[in-house]
Structure formats: C-alpha cells, structure tokens
C-alpha cells in the first residue's frame, strides 16, 4: 500500500480582514509592498482602489480599503508604521 498525503491537511490558512483608511496611492502601494514582504502571495486586497483614490468625483476623504492577511499582528504594524487608521472586519461599521 503506497503512502499518500492527505490533501485535507494542506488547506489554506484563515485570512483576517482589516480595513485601512487610505488617502493616497503611495499609502496603498506601501501597504501592498509590506504584504508582499510578509506573506508573499498569501494575501488579498480590495480591487479598483487606485480608481477610487484618483476618481474625478472623489472628495479629499480617506477611502476604506480592506486587506486579508494570515497574521492579525500585521494590522497593528501597518497602523503604527504608516499612521493609518485600522479596523478589523468584525468592528467595521458600514454606513447605510
């Protein structure tokens, strides 16, 4: 009988979603660069952020952008390093 690895043991890690208040493209790219350094390709980000930051109808208010990362400590590090406001997905209050 051959030994086969159990594919169910090799599942992806849980990702934690955090919302950052981002005002500029440079801040957004800096957070993405940190994600690549910390996690390689094991993270996700909200799409079409650059369009929201550079839109014609955009008022000079920060845009709420989510990032999904495997380590919750990442949000604290980013908020301190780049002085960004951060909220976890469980605390995110959506305006209706």
The verdict on residue 20 lying in a domain is yes
Task: Give the domain CATH number at 31.
Answer: 3.30.70.2750
The verdict on residue 28 lying in a domain is yes
- The confidence score (pLDDT) of residue 42 equals 92
- How many domains is the chain built from? 1
The verdict on residue 7 lying in a domain is no
The verdict on residue 6 lying in a domain is no
| Model confidence band, residue 11 (pLDDT cutoffs 50, 70, 90) | very low
> What range does the domain containing 44 cover?
14-88
- pTM, two decimal places: 0.76
**pLDDT tens per residue, range 15-61:** 899 999 999 999 999 999 999 999 999 999 999 999 888 876 666 78
Residues with Cβ < 8 Å from 67, sequence gap 6 or more?
Answer: 17, 18, 20, 31, 35, 43, 44, 45, 46
The verdict on residue 95 lying in a domain is no
The verdict on residue 4 lying in a domain is no
- The confidence score (pLDDT) of residue 80 equals 96
**pLDDT tens per residue, range 68-90:** 999 999 999 999 999 999 998 76
């Amino acid at each position: 009988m051959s030994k086969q690895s159990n594919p169910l043991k090799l599942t992806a890690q849980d990702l934690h979603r955090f919302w950052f208040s981002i005002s500029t493209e440079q801040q957004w790219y800096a957070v993405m660069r940190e994600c690549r350094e910390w996690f390689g390709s094991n993270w996700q980000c909200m799409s079409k952020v650059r369009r929201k930051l550079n839109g014609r109808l955009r008022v000079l208010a920060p845009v709420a952008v989510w990032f999904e990362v495997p380590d919750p400590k990442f949000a604290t590090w980013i908020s301190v390093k780049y002085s960004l406001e951060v909220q976890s997905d469980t605390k995110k209050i959506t305006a209706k």
